[in-house]
Amino acid sequence: MNNQDRVVTGPVDMAELARRTIRRTDFVPCTQAFIDCRTPGSDRKENYAMIGPGVSQSPGQVINLREPHGFNIGAAAMPNGVTNSLHMHFTAEVFLCFRGEFLLRWGADGTDGELLLREGDIASIPTWIFRGFTNVGPDDGWLFTTLGQDRTGGIIWGPSVLREAAGHGLYLSTTGELIDTVAGDPPPPEDETVRPITGAQIAALRSYSAEELRRRVATPDDLRWSEAPFLDFRLPGGGARLAAVIGYGMTEDRFQEPIVHNPHGHSVAWLKARPGAGMSRHRHGASQVLMVKDGEWEVTLNGPGEELPVRLGPWDMLSVPPGAWRSLRNAGDDEASLVVVNGGDGRNRLEWDEAVVKAAAEAGDALDPGGYVAPSALVPR
């Protein structure tokens, strides 16, 4: 359970539930999170940090929940025409497009390739390549991001980004702090200032074709939904559908494979349910964040007699402690979807409430020794 929350051994109380519930109205933007905050064309973007600090370089960045999860979750909000400058990450970066259209480009000068991300797309960007993106949609766009690990190591900016920022009085210290000489910060000594990456260093980086990057994008048309991803797929209150995007996560369908396989430090999946359907009471030992895309969801923590429910609307998110019992259902009138982010690179093996196991067995289903749904009549007791 590296870099994840401590495992809960007792019921979650109201204060802890409130601390871990992050409403859309709780998001706080930072307009000076990065060194390009004065660069024309990049100066109107907003950065958000919901789970962990991410790669923000601003000491004023508001972080909704600092608890280590083994991953970070943030967002970039950008009006039409605004650009996020070319930069490179050391750990996984995943874009979840919740609104708008973004033109993604990569390479040290942004000319190695381009892809268009639309609402509902999820894109995993390889580490150690420069990437940037521009909102090309007609409205304000919104990209949620998940970043691998608790400590991401920060980012490396493209050479042109650092040079242009210096023209606006902004520098980056070797310890990752943003230095603003226009605001009165003393100019940093040269040996304590991040210098642009060299041409030789750039030449040593791997390049990626548009075809290679496209294989790391999951559009709604690419998703492979499992109708029986969990033990409770036939039960009242169960019946959720799952599409694995990054990693195997918590699927119990032995035939289900993710679109992106390589380790990220976390898994990402879509979950959908009809009104009244969802997932019955279960738990697992990894950190988990539920991010609502649309509809209204009710998540209930704890076991029988100690249930603690919370309602989540569009773009709300909940951090569920490792080891806590939880169930979820679509509390709206239409089919609804959310994103599930689980910590770790392996499968998250679920433990189901005894009542769920019994009801599933009566319906003809059980988990085999590998943790996959199978005919109960064939599974050893």
Whole-angstrom distance, CA of residue 219 vs CA of residue 120: 6
Tally the domains of the chain: 2
Query: Looking at 177, 192, 218, which one is the last position of a domain?
Result: 218
CA dist 319 and 341 (Å) reads 9
Are residues 164 and 250 located together in one domain of the fold? no
Q: Which structure tokens are listed for 157?
A: 């900016």
Q: How confident is the model at residue 237 (pLDDT cuts 50, 70, 90)?
A: very high
Taking the C-alpha atoms of residue 343 and residue 149, their distance in angstroms, rounded to an integer, is: 9
CA–CA separation, 378 vs 362, rounded Å?
13
252/255 Cα distance (integer angstroms): 9
pTM (two decimals): 0.93
Query: Does one domain contain both 202 and 255?
Result: no
**Within a domain: 9:** no
Q: Is the pLDDT confidence value at 7 over 90?
A: no
| pLDDT at residue 33 greater than cutoff 70 | no
Range of the domain at 230: 221-378
- Residue 16: inside a domain: no
Residue 6: pLDDT band with limits 50, 70, 90: low
Dihedrals phi, psi of 354, to nearest 5 degrees: -55, -35
Q: In this structure, are 188 and 248 located in the same domain?
A: no
pLDDT in tens, 104-129: 999 999 999 999 999 999 999 999 99
Tell whether 13 is covered by a domain. Answer: no
* Residue with the larger pLDDT of the pair 30 and 118: 118
If 0-12 CB within 10 Å is exposed, 13-18 middle and 19+ buried, where does residue 114 land? middle
Confidence at residue 357, expressed as pLDDT on a 0 to 100 scale: 98
Q: Identify residue 229 by its one-letter amino acid code.
A: P
- Among 202, 218, 234, the domain-final residue is 218
Q: Quick check: 170 and 37 in contact, CB under 8 A?
A: yes
pLDDT of residue 283: 98
**363 inside domain:** yes
- Does 17 fall in a domain? no
Residue 38 placed within a domain: yes
Q: Do 202 and 297 fall within a single domain? A: no
Mean pLDDT computed over every residue of the chain:
93
Domain boundary among 218, 248, 278: 218
Regarding whether 234 and 210 lie in a shared domain, the answer is no
- Write down the pLDDT at residue 42: 72
In a domain, 341, yes or no: yes
- String of DSSP letters for 108-133: TTS-SEEEEE-TT-EEEEPTTSEEEE
Residues 180 and 235 in one domain: no
Q: Which two tokens stand for residue 21?
A: 């519930």
Residues 85 and 191 in one domain: yes
* CA 199 to centroid of chain Cα atoms: 32
User: How many residues comprise the chain?
Assistant: 381
Cα separation, 331 vs 311, whole angstroms: 8
For residues 183 and 252, membership in a common domain is answered with no
Instruction: Compute the CA torsion angle 284, 289, 290, 292 (nearest 10 deg).
Output: -170
Query: For residues 158 and 119, which has the higher predicted lDDT (pLDDT)?
Result: 119
**Which pLDDT value is given to residue 188?**
81
Q: Are residues 69 and 162 in the same domain?
A: yes
| Tens digits of residue pLDDT in 277-292 | 999 999 999 999 999 9
Which CATH number belongs to the domain containing residue 373 in this structure?
2.60.120.10
Give percent of the chain with pLDDT exceeding 70.
Answer: 98
Name the DSSP class of 5: P
